[in-house]
Structure 1
């Protein structure tokens, strides 16, 4: 592993893998004069990313939350509707439902994967249910065979929240192709990043066109209009949003996409190092990956026994300048939603999971340092 931090330096929880090639790509955009959104760099990235996802269309957007919002709007979601959402996720997923005026209904997750439990989804389907948003938890795809069957049986849409999952697979198929529509994030802690950004991907040309229009105020893109030999005057026939990704960010993403295999391999080596060094540690359960899928290891989440004081463990790690955090949120307990559902598995993971450093810049020495510190912290915190 190419280390970002030496043995005596801080070991951050996350770190972007950006360098000279990305800077050169940005410089090229500067020279082109088109730095705004939805320009030539965006179009090129969209084509490349759609191919990587095994689908026909991609629309680059400002972030994954915007992508989810657009996907829901393109499905016609609105006030009075209910959308079933995986509970154990950053609340952006539920927020996107709220933005449409609909109600998110939170479904519990599997204890072994943190992904949404299809049985929990089935139990929540009611007369107002219009769709399901599954989440690829920390880059691990959900159970799309079962979820797809449920959606088809009840005439519901299915969206893959693939925020963390670029490069993951499920039964040999890439993330992005696991549901009819998917949304990705290119936030700084994701496997590939331009700081902030996202994409909506689909095989449905009409759906992609709807998303593209909604992402640009409800208009055809300025880049397309600029190519006309006439003077087209656009007409606003619906209120869209300014959710475009800048060409500066898209240029970075084009480079990052070419580096995706190496970056995923580096994260996998980190995960393997943790497994070798932490297996058998009393009080700690390590993450696993079902045989029918692969993960991006966007985060490395250990689950502490109930008798282990997570706060004390975290304090010890941070005293050693080792980054850590809780896993993610049990969305249904967040006051913003006023949710009626109970999700005991998600709530339990919310209390007990701990994220330790995971990124492509960690060295073997970093991994060993984290493992030693975690072992000591757990042994002293029970």
Structure 2
């Protein structure tokens, strides 16, 4: 039986042609013509004055914190239920990540949990659009404004989503994007920083290239320009090869997202009424990018056994994302019970723009059978969850 992968990048002839064009140009490195064109495309797409193409979203988070002046010992509140890149970035600048619990219905950060964690040492909040669903930005931005805090949108998973009609990636003064292989638009690896303040973008661009201006730009100058290194920088540039791929992917974003949305709708139809499975919820004021499709299994269901059975049938699946506060590296001394519960019960099933409807039907049938086969009888844990 054919395998159905959990994720699959939608890359084809258009992307290959774009790469060939870069090869012919003689400039495959970063911050060249394709990188500049991509940044202009991102600025226009998201309606922001500053866009910086970078090697991944994690480095975008790091550069954002540097540009915003976060200092050692500062506290930055981060959404807990997420790939822990935000907390890693906070630690990169020797600040303290403080983990905020999430809402049980959307798995996005709970504004009240954020409010409860604000102290005199708090300088900002990193909000995560959980697996493609934007958080409650109206409340979060208002809360941050009242307390004089910055807000960074971790839009790693949400390119193509919307909140109150605005695109994810433009929902906070600074946003960080990912173009990893499982995202809605991908170059294999890649990222970007978007900023409402051009100075923040300029700071990030300079720091992303060891603190000097583009080598490509310098090569266009008659004479012999010699850069001066005045501050510590990093090699966080995105290659022009990846930038060319992303230009094609962003042009295809509508069709790719339309297919993912159709798959999500089909899953919702096929799994409706299954009492052992809770489906994703999308509030009416936003849309989902469907980077992942997570179902929450009833507490009576043995998730590991379900996963083993699906994989045994050639169907990819995963645990969802992480309760970051539980990861040993952070040594967190706090509790995020909703996040911890979702970490134990979420299961990711195949979601990508190459998935056929017949494959989605096969996934749903297998999932329904597996959860029923691996659920303890009602009453074994005192009833259903």
Paired position in structure 2 for 1:249 = 242
Structure 2 CA distance, aligned partners of 1:207 and 1:303? Answer: 39
Task: State the shift of 1:93 in Å.
Answer: 1.5
- The residue that corresponds to 1:262 in the other structure is 255
- Larger RCO (CA under 8 A, 6+ residues apart): 1
Aligned equivalent of 1:380: 373
Residue 54 of structure 1 contacts residue 176 of structure 1 at CA under 8 Å; is this kept in 2? no
How far apart are residue 177 of structure 1 and its match? 1.0
Structure 1 unaligned blocks of 5 or more: 1-7
Task: Choose 70-79 or 257-266, whichever is displaced more.
Answer: 70-79
Alignment partner of 1:325: what SS?
coil
CA distance in 1 between counterparts of 2:267 and 2:2 reads: 19
The answer to whether structure 1 residue 167 and structure 2 residue 156 are counterparts is no
Q: Is the 8 A contact 1:13 1:356 kept in 2?
A: yes
Q: Which moved more, 1:224-233 or 1:267-276?
A: 224-233
Q: Is 1:328–2:321 an aligned residue pair?
A: yes
Q: Identify which of 128, 134, 155 aligns with 1:135.
A: 128
Q: Pick the aligned partner of 2:288 from 295, 299, 306.
A: 295
TM-score (norm 2): 0.97
Alpha-carbon distance, 1:78 to partner: 2.2
Contact persistence 1:83–1:97 (CA under 8 A): yes
Give the TM-score of the pair, scaled to structure 1: 0.97
What residue number does 1:3 align with?
A: none
Aligned residue for 1:52, secondary structure, equals helix
SS at match of 1:200: strand
SS in 2 for 1:104: strand
Partner of 1:353: 346
> 1: distance between equivalents of 2:12 and 2:276?
39
Tell me, what secondary structure is at the counterpart of 1:321? coil
Taking the TM superposition and a 5 Å limit, the aligned residue runs for 1:208-247 are: 208-247=201-240
Structure 1 CA distance, aligned partners of 2:39 and 2:315? 37
The residue that corresponds to 2:264 in the other structure is 271
Q: Take 1:175 and 1:263, find their aligned partners in 2: how far apart are those partners?
A: 16
Q: Tell me if the contact between 1:176 and 1:202 (Cα under 8 Å) persists in the aligned partners.
A: no
SS at structure 2 position matched to 1:336: helix
Question: What does the per-residue CA deviation read over 1:295-346, in whole Å, with 9 as the maximum and x for residues that have no partner?
Answer: 1000000000101110111011001100000010000010100112210000
1:36 aligns with 2:10: no
Question: Separation in 2 of the partners of 1:76 and 1:204?
Answer: 14
Determine the structure 1 residue equivalent to 2:184. Answer: 191
Runs of 4+ aligned residues of structure 1 deviating over 4 Å after TM superposition are none
Tell me the alpha carbon deviations over residues 131-185 of structure 1, each in whole angstroms, 9 at most, x when there is no partner. Answer: 0000000110011111101111111110000001111110000111100000000
Are 1:55 and 1:176, in contact at CA under 8 Å, matched by a contact in 2? no
Match of 1:339 in 2: 332
RMSD between aligned residues: 0.7
Q: Does 1:23 align with 2:7?
A: no
1:230, distance to aligned residue in structure 2 (A): 2.8
1:52 positional shift: 1.2
Match for residue 92 of structure 1? 85
Equivalent in 93, 104, 110 of residue 117 of structure 1: 110
Q: What corresponds to 2:383 in structure 1?
A: none
Using the TM superposition, give the Cα deviation of residue 54 of structure 1 relative to its aligned residue in structure 2, in angstroms. Answer: 1.8
Q: How many aligned residue pairs are there? A: 375
| CA deviation profile, 1:92-113 (whole Å, cap 9, x unmatched) | 1110111111010000000111
Distance 2:312 2:229 in 1: 56
C-alpha distance in structure 1 between counterparts of 2:17 and 2:64, whole Å: 33
Residue 304 of structure 1 is matched in structure 2 by 297
Q: Name the SS of the counterpart of 1:110 in structure 2.
A: coil
Matches of 1:78 and 1:226, distance apart in 2? 36
Residue 186 of structure 1 contacts residue 193 of structure 1 at CA under 8 Å; is this kept in 2?
yes
CA distance in 1, matches of 2:38, 2:65: 23
